[in-house]
Structure 1
Amino acid sequence: MKTTGNTVFISGGSAGIGLAIAKKLSAEGNKIIINGRNEERLQAALQQLNDAVAIQGDLSVEADRLRIAEELKTTYPEVNIIVNNAGAAFAYLLNGTENAHEKAALEMNTNYLSVIHFTELLLPHLVGKGEAAVVNISSIAVFRSHKMLPTYSASKAALHGYTTALRDTYEDQGNVHIYEVYPPLVNTEFSAEIGGANGIPPSEVADELFLALERNQFDVPVGDSKQFFAKEPA
């Protein structure tokens, strides 16, 4: 896929992995549209980007999804890549005292159901482009749950299953590419509660995604996730 001259929408783009992807793709000559819930953080992020714009909103809320999708199609009709990066995670143990079902419902809504709906709203638009992409930011947790992230891991596993089916759906069409990125522990505010300071820099995730776009490599393992894609010895 081309890596310059795109118009890219990035949810959760005001910090962490989302902002790192925004910086990388902006530096490579792409128009960037970042999204986040906090207007102040969005404005601070824009100061770190060239010629970028922001759309405030919470994609876990249906009304915001509908509004943002419509704004993209009408105000920024050139958008041809969406990066579904916004996420929610709770660190806790399944010890019967943490209201796991409530936490799971919030994670599943943000990490899975909202992604399906928002992507569905944009797919007819993307299909009309000469070349387009959906990039879902998944997790190393797809391959093995962690006891401190029990229901987050499950929500990302659900996202993985959806992404695979979406990729298969558009494989023969040829112009809509479906990518899935598998970050390990990343040093961001989002992961601070689970020891994120020991993780890789978010720029490493952005660099791996950029290379994958260049190579049309639709599964994008990063760092420790690469062990799950290692080829068996001959």
Structure 2
Amino acid sequence: MKTTGNTVFISGGSAGIGLAIAKKLNAAGNKIIINGRNEERLQKALTELKDAVAIQGDLSVEADRIRIAEDLKTNHADVNIIINNAGAAFGYLLSETTNAHEKALIEMNTNYFAIIHFTELMIPHLLEKEESAVVNVSSIAVYGSHKFLPTYGATKAALHSYTTALRQTYEEQKNLQIYEVYPPLVNTEFSAEIGGAAGIEPSEVADELLIGLETNLFDIPVGDTKIYANAIGEAMSKLAHAQELI
């Protein structure tokens, strides 16, 4: 799809991957609307963007999701791309906690249920546009869990499953495209407690997303995630070939 002249809403856009994507798309000639929970961080992020707008709110809260969706449709009617980037993750060991279910509930609500609802609120608006897109930021964790992130991976696997179904649902609607970005460990404040300093820079995720949009690459693996994606692609190709021989 086109990568300039869009109006893009980015949740979790005040820092980390979200801000890196905002900067990249802003520099490419797109109008940017960032969202985050902290007003001070949003205002700071705006100083790094040209003619951008911020909408404060917590998308994990239903009332905020509804308010933000209405704000976009009413006051920013030209929005044609939404990037669901905001997320939650807890690093811990199951053997050292008694509230894993509470942590999992927060992660699943933020990383899965909230995205489904917000996307549902915005889809009718996006379908009215000549060209539009939903971009879900998932994770390398789609391919497997880790003992230090015991419940996070399941939420991203769920998001991946939903994104696949969403893409299949609207595959005949040529004006709406569904993308999924799979970052590996990224050096952000969000990932600091799980060794994020050893990860790639957020700008690499933004670069790969722009390429994906330009080339209509709907599944966008980044960094080490490409190893998994390539292996699965080769396996599926071999399986298809074997079935042809039967």
1:47 aligned partner? 47
2:201 aligned partner? 201
Aligned residue for 1:48, secondary structure, equals coil
Q: How high is the TM-score relative to the length of structure 1?
A: 0.98
Kindly indicate whether residue 65 of structure 2 is the aligned counterpart of residue 65 of structure 1.
Answer: yes
Kindly indicate whether residue 27 of structure 2 is the aligned counterpart of residue 15 of structure 1.
Answer: no
Kindly indicate whether residue 162 of structure 2 is the aligned counterpart of residue 135 of structure 1.
Answer: no
By how many angstroms is 1:202 displaced?
A: 0.1
User: For the Cα contact (< 8 Å) 1:163–1:180, is it kept in 2?
Assistant: yes
Superposed counterparts of 1:1-234, under 5 Å = 1-95=1-95, 97-230=97-230, 231-232=233-234
Aligned residue for 1:25, secondary structure, equals helix
Unaligned runs of 5+ in 1: none
Aligned residue for 1:135, secondary structure, equals strand
Alpha-carbon distance in 2 for matches of 1:150, 1:7: 36
Whose radius of gyration is greater, 1 or 2? 2
Q: List per-residue Cα deviations over 1:53-83 (Å, max 9, x = no partner).
A: 0000000000000000000000000000000
Alpha-carbon distance in 1 for matches of 2:112, 2:121: 14
User: For the Cα contact (< 8 Å) 1:33–1:52, is it kept in 2?
Assistant: yes
- Identical residues among aligned pairs (%): 76
Number of paired residues? 234
Q: List per-residue Cα deviations over 1:154-211 (Å, max 9, x = no partner).
A: 1111000000000000111111100000000000000000000000000000000000
Aligned residue for 1:223, secondary structure, equals coil
List, as ranges, runs of 4+ consecutive aligned residues in structure 1 with deviation greater than 6 Å.
Answer: none
Alpha-carbon distance in 1 for matches of 2:148, 2:39: 31
Alpha-carbon distance in 2 for matches of 1:126, 1:228: 32
Aligned residue for 1:173, secondary structure, equals coil
Partner amino acid, structure 2, of 1:69: A
Alpha-carbon distance in 2 for matches of 1:162, 1:225: 19
Q: How high is the TM-score relative to the length of structure 2?
A: 0.93
Unaligned runs of 5+ in 2: 239-246
Alpha-carbon distance in 1 for matches of 2:12, 2:98: 26
2:243 aligned partner? none
User: For the Cα contact (< 8 Å) 1:92–1:98, is it kept in 2?
Assistant: no
- Which has the higher mean CA deviation after the structures are superposed, 2-11 or 168-177? 168-177
By how many angstroms is 1:96 displaced?
A: 6.3
